Structure 1
Amino acid sequence: MDYGATVIALKKSLKNGKVVDVVLGFDALSDYVDSYSLPSAPYFGATVGRFAGRIANATFDLNGKSIVLHQNNSGNALHGGIAGFSQKLWRLEQLKTDKNPSVSFSYRSPAGEELYPGELKVSVTYTLTEESELEIEYKATTNEPTVVNLTHHSYFNLEGQHSSVLKQELHIDAYEILETIDMIPTGKMLPVQSTESDYTAPKPCPEVIDTTFVIKAKESLAATLLSKENNLKMEVYTNQPGLHVYVGGNCFTQIKGKENASYHSQSGICFETQNFPDAPNHPNFPSAILLPGDIYFHKTIYKFQSF
Structure 2
Amino acid sequence: MAVASFSRPTTLSSPPVAVLFGHTPGGTLVHLFTLQNHCGMQATISTLGGTLTSLLVPDKHGQPGDVVLGFDTLAGYTSELFVQENTYFGAIIGRYGNRIAKGRFTLDGRPYQLPINNVPNSLHGGPLGFDKQVWQATPDISADGPTLTLTYLSLDGEEGYPGNLTVQVVYTLTEDNSLRLDYSATTDQPTVLNLTSHSYFNLALGSAPTILDHILTLPADQFTPVDDTLIPTGELKDVKGTPFDFTTPHAIGERIGQVPGGYDHNWVLANQHRPQPELAASVYEPISGRTMDVYTDQPGVQCYTGNFLKGNLGGKDGVTYGQHAGFCLETQHFPDSPNQPQFPSTVLRPGETFRSTTEYRFGVRQ
Matched, 1:68 2:113: yes
- The partner residue of 2:221 within 168, 175, 181 is 175
User: In the aligned structure 1, how far is the partner of 2:174 from the partner of 2:83?
Assistant: 35
Residues 84-138 of structure 1, C-alpha deviations (whole Å, 9 max, x = no match): 0001010113333776111110000000000100000001011011221010011
Matched, 1:128 2:173: yes
- Kept after mapping to 1: 8 A contact 2:312/2:321: no
What amino acid sits opposite 1:111 in the alignment? D
Structure 2 unaligned runs (5+)? Answer: 1-45, 257-261
Corresponding residue number in structure 2 for 1:17? 62
Corresponding residue number in structure 2 for 1:79? 124
The structure showing larger relative contact order (alpha-carbon pairs under 8 Å, at least 6 residues apart) is: 1
Q: How do residues 109-128 of structure 1 correspond to structure 2 at under 5 angstroms?
A: 109-128=154-173
Corresponding residue number in structure 1 for 2:243? 196
User: In the aligned structure 2, how far is the partner of 1:17 from the partner of 1:181?
Assistant: 44
Matched, 1:50 2:95: yes
User: What displacement does 1:40 show?
Assistant: 2.5
- Kept after mapping to 1: 8 A contact 2:263/2:307: no
3-state SS of 2:220 partner: coil
What amino acid sits opposite 1:160 in the alignment? L
User: In the aligned structure 2, how far is the partner of 1:17 from the partner of 1:149?
Assistant: 36
User: What displacement does 1:254 show?
Assistant: 3.5
User: What displacement does 1:211 show?
Assistant: 0.7
Range with greater deviation from structure 2 (51-60 or 245-254): 245-254
What amino acid sits opposite 1:258 in the alignment? K
3-state SS of 1:233 partner: strand
Matched, 1:238 2:296: yes
User: In the aligned structure 2, how far is the partner of 1:221 from the partner of 1:115?
Assistant: 34
- Kept after mapping to 2: 8 A contact 1:166/1:266: yes
Corresponding residue number in structure 2 for 1:272? 330
Gap change, CA 1:61 and 1:144, over 3 Å in 2: same
Aligned residues: 307
User: In the aligned structure 2, how far is the partner of 1:293 from the partner of 1:36?
Assistant: 41
User: In the aligned structure 1, how far is the partner of 2:267 from the partner of 2:196?
Assistant: 14
TM-score normalised by length of structure 2: 0.81
Gap change, CA 1:40 and 1:261, over 3 Å in 2: same
Corresponding residue number in structure 1 for 2:339? 281
Q: How do residues 224-263 of structure 1 correspond to structure 2 at under 5 angstroms?
A: 224-248=282-306, 252-263=310-321
What amino acid sits opposite 1:239 in the alignment? D
Residues 246-268 of structure 1, C-alpha deviations (whole Å, 9 max, x = no match): 01176544431011101011111
- Kept after mapping to 1: 8 A contact 2:216/2:250: yes
